[in-house]
């Protein structure tokens, strides 16, 4: 964490490492990552220099959507460990100076959750069904879905249930898989339950929550069709949508903020909200709502100077308006890894899923070069940043998993037309020359839950840790500078004029970042000292295309911010 910003507001400057638990480290050899695996690899995260970890859902789950179908919010999935091990992890992380952020899934439960089991067994209009969103079907016998809403994984967002007499009855809403029934956030019991769940984990020392699909909790009464209407009209004005980013969802977060603020040590939230415009995102970050939100506009921006700068500017303006720190993220468990995205020809609205990339040839060396530059850009921007596990190893998307191993519900729900997100979820390589590359212990009983590319022995943490020019070395060096330079983290940014196609900005205390997104070399700013470079300079000492530099004007302590 930068020294800029008080310790009590650590989240304004934090670098948060995303631990995708299934694929991080497997301690017991069942091929699935687990809590003890995370505990064993905490030293890697300390060496890397991050401030916090965000762990994807670890609750008991039938795993219809890799843990985003929770059947008990107050326990831990046995395949991941125990509640006691979870507590040990939290304590050990804290002892090492790492904060721990969990993932809460409030839009839907698992269909195995006791509430949903009860709802299915209950009558229509019962209190048990009132916790979810049941509706009558259309058509004479209610045989058609209640409306045109679609599941994010493909197909209709409604599934019909059987009544106790064996005849078809009502339909229930699931914006994701049928195994993920949507909760009714107009129901006071639902609201009280989630506040209690937050307290359960806060009481165990958890520092915050990432809120899964934070923008979808509330739905419009009467469930009107989405129809053809654009969410954003031609004149750029926001239009009401029946189930995304509705204004009444903010009430939920005001009460959650009150729960977090009732603790003396700060507890924080980060929203996963895929919204259409930066000012809609900022609404989640008003002072009495959430602390931070993922900046998916940045993740989706092309590797092109003008749109990237426009995204950064819009982010800064909209976050400043509500006093919230921006965040920056390049990859996560839902999108194709960014070296593979940057390997493709860049267009104004580039695809960010593997299915969008397939068919577009990639230059993977170029993608990696850009990813190195993007790391320096990301870590120099004001606010907080996220690193998705394996990003520090420069891992590429695994684009050629055999169809027989695909597990993302998207694959099935799309009628085997979309491969989905498994390519960014492959268990990461730690050491050794063959799979499981230290992910699982020797003599494991099962192979990793997704097969690892044979080439990953060359990019394990062990190998990269010894190479001075590796991606891992770059991340470690950048994070070390970030932790100690008073101009980094939260704070102002001032653009500097550069050659067209290059971006340069100054932070406090003489820190300057230059990123060359043009096709020609650019000159290093005068009177500066290079502190870090994402790649070698040209023979003339200029910055080649797709290379970023961190440079220093004067000495950090001597110059004014």
Contacts with ligand GLC, residue ranges (CB under 6 A) = 65, 68, 105, 176, 212-213, 272, 333-334
Taking the least distance from each CB to ligand GLC, the nearer of 92 and 272 is: 272
Taking the least distance from each CB to ligand GLC, the nearer of 56 and 534 is: 56
3-state secondary structure 177-246: CCCCCEECCCCHHHHHHHHHHHHHHHCCCCCEEEECCCCCCCCCCCCCCCCCCCCECCCCCECCCCCCCC
Q: How far apart are CA 178 and CA 69, in angstroms?
A: 10
> C-beta of 411: minimal distance to ligand GLC in Å?
13
> C-beta of 293: minimal distance to ligand GLC in Å?
13
What letter would DSSP give residue 144?
B
Spell out a b/e string for 141-167, using b for 16 or more CB atoms within 10 Å of the CB, else e: ebeebbbebebbbbbbbbbbeeeeeee
> C-beta of 66: minimal distance to ligand GLC in Å?
7
Q: How far apart are CA 36 and CA 26, in angstroms?
A: 8
Q: Where are the beta strands (DSSP E) in 32-110?
A: 52-55, 99-104
> C-beta of 108: minimal distance to ligand GLC in Å?
7
> C-beta of 152: minimal distance to ligand GLC in Å?
7
Q: How far apart are CA 241 and CA 247, in angstroms?
A: 10
3-state secondary structure 362-394: CCHHHHHHHHHHHHHHHHHCCCEEEEECCHHHC
Rg (CA), the chain: 24
Taking the least distance from each CB to ligand GLC, the nearer of 65 and 391 is: 65
Angle in degrees, CA 61, 65, 66, rounded to 5: 65
How many Cβ atoms are within 10 Å of 388's Cβ, its own excluded? 22
Q: How far apart are CA 148 and CA 176, in angstroms?
A: 14
Taking the least distance from each CB to ligand GLC, the nearer of 79 and 174 is: 174
Q: Are the C-beta atoms of 92 and 164 separated by less than 8 Å?
A: no
What sign does the dihedral 388-449-206-59 (CA atoms) show? Answer: positive
> C-beta of 352: minimal distance to ligand GLC in Å?
13
> C-beta of 486: minimal distance to ligand GLC in Å?
34
What sign does the dihedral 81-84-87-93 (CA atoms) show? Answer: negative
What letter would DSSP give residue 288?
T
Does the N-terminal peptide bond of residue 436 adopt cis geometry, omega within 30 degrees of 0?
yes
Taking the least distance from each CB to ligand GLC, the nearer of 27 and 180 is: 180
> C-beta of 10: minimal distance to ligand GLC in Å?
24
> C-beta of 197: minimal distance to ligand GLC in Å?
16
């Amino acid at each position: 964490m930068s020294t800029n910003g008080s310790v009590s507001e650590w989240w304004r400057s934090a670098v948060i490492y995303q631990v995708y638990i299934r694929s991080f480290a497997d301690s017991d050899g069942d091929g699935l990552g687990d809590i003890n695996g995370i505990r064993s690899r905490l030293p890697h995260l300390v060496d890397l220099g991050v401030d916090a970890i965000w762990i994807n859902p670890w609750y008991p789950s039938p795993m219809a959507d890799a843990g985003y179908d929770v059947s008990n919010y107050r326990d831990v999935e046995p395949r991941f460990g125990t509640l006691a091990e979870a507590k040990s992890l939290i304590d050990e992380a804290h002892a090492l100076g790492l904060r721990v952020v969990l993932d809460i899934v409030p839009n839907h439960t698992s269909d195995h959750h006791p509430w949903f089991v009860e709802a299915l067994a209950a009558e229509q209009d019962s209190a048990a069904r009132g916790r979810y969103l049941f509706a009558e079907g259309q058509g004479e016998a209610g045989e058609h879905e209640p409306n045109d809403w679609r599941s994010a994984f493909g197909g209709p967002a409604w599934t019909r249930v059987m009544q106790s007499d064996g005849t078809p009855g009502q339909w229930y809403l699931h914006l994701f898989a049928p195994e993920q029934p949507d909760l009714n956030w107009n129901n006071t019991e639902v609201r009280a339950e989630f506040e209690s769940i937050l307290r359960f984990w806060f009481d165990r020392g958890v520092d915050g929550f990432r809120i899964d699909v934070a923008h979808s909790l509330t739905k419009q009464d009467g469930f009107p069709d989405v129809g053809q209407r654009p969410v954003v009209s031609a004149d750029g004005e926001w239009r009401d949508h029946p189930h995304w980013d509705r204004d009444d969802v903010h009430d939920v977060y005001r009460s959650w903020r009150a729960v977090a603020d009732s603790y003396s040590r700060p507890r924080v939230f980060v929203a996963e909200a895929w919204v259409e415009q930066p000012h809609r995102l900022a609404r989640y970050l008003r002072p009495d709502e959430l602390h931070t939100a993922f900046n998916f506009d940045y993740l989706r921006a092309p590797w092109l100077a003008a749109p990237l700068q426009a995204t950064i500017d819009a982010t800064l303006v909209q976050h400043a308006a509500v006093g919230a720190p921006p965040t920056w993220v390049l990859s996560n468990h839902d999108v194709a890894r960014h070296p593979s995205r940057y390997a493709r020809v860049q267009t104004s609205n580039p695809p960010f899923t593997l299915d969008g990339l397939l068919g577009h040839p990639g230059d993977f060396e170029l993608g990696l070069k850009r990813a190195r530059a993007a790391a320096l850009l990301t870590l120099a921007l004001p606010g907080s940043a996220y690193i998705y596990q394996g990003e520090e190893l420069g891992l590429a998307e695994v684009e050629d998993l055999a169809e027989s191993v695909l597990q993302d519900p998207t694959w099935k729900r799309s009628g085997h037309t979309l491969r989905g997100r498994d390519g960014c979820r492959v268990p990461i390589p730690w050491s050794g020359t063959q799979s499981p590359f230290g992910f699982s212990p020797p003599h494991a009983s099962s192979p990793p839950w997704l097969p690892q590319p044979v080439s990953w022995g060359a990019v394990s943490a062990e190998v990269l840790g010894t190479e001075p020019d590796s991606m891992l070395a770059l991340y470690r060096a950048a994070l070390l500078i970030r932790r100690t330079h008073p101009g980094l983290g939260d704070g102002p940014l001032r653009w500097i004029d550069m050659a067209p196609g290059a971006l340069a900005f100054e932070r406090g205390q003489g820190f300057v970042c230059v990123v060359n997104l043009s096709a020609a070399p650019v000159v290093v700013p005068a009177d500066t000292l290079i502190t870090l470079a994402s790649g070698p300079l040209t023979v003339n000492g200029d910055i080649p295309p797709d290379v970023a530099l961190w440079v220093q004007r004067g000495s950090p302590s001597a110059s004014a911010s």
